[in-house]
Structure 1
Amino acid sequence: MTNSNALTCPASDEIDMHAKWQTFAQQHKVPLTNCVSAALRRGVLSEQEAVENGKSHWNSSEHFSMGGLGELVVGIEKADRLISF
């Protein structure tokens, strides 16, 4: 979920995982979903989560959505494989 943080600024000689995930999702039409509980614990907020939690700023890129166990279960039911890392 930290890869969804739009405020990361990797050094010029490092891989920009935020940009890589966005490019991958756009090229392959893959939705990017963060675990909302894990994201909030680590200070990664979408605009909606910021509003709901009384925060004035958010830092999750618009390409990533927040989801919970329901989205995971539905995704597993629809998918022919699951990759976890």
Structure 2
Amino acid sequence: MSNGSSITEFLLLAFTDRRELQLLHFWLFLGIYLAALLGNGLIITAIVCDHHLHTPMYFFLLKLFLLDPGSISTTLPKAMANSLWDNMDI
């Protein structure tokens, strides 16, 4: 039985109410995000460019390193935007 109500958004609790710490949170997560993207990009480049790394093990590692940026790109930018704009809904 449905009463017709639906949930359209979730609310996140903020790490802090102080603006300085919210900006620190943004810059810290931006650094982590860029480091993850750069690290995955370097590993992908190494596997693609070096023909000695074209074995089944590196094939599956390549797939893993291709999926990792996709998974962190769904959550981290939203968390950074929420801390930057003082918004708590997702």
Sort the TM-score into its range (normalised by shorter chain).
under 0.3
TM-score normalised to structure 2 length: 0.22
- Choose between structure 1 and 2: higher helix proportion: 2
Higher relative contact order (CA 8 A, sep 6+): 2
- Choose between structure 1 and 2: higher strand proportion: 1
TM-score normalised to structure 1 length: 0.22
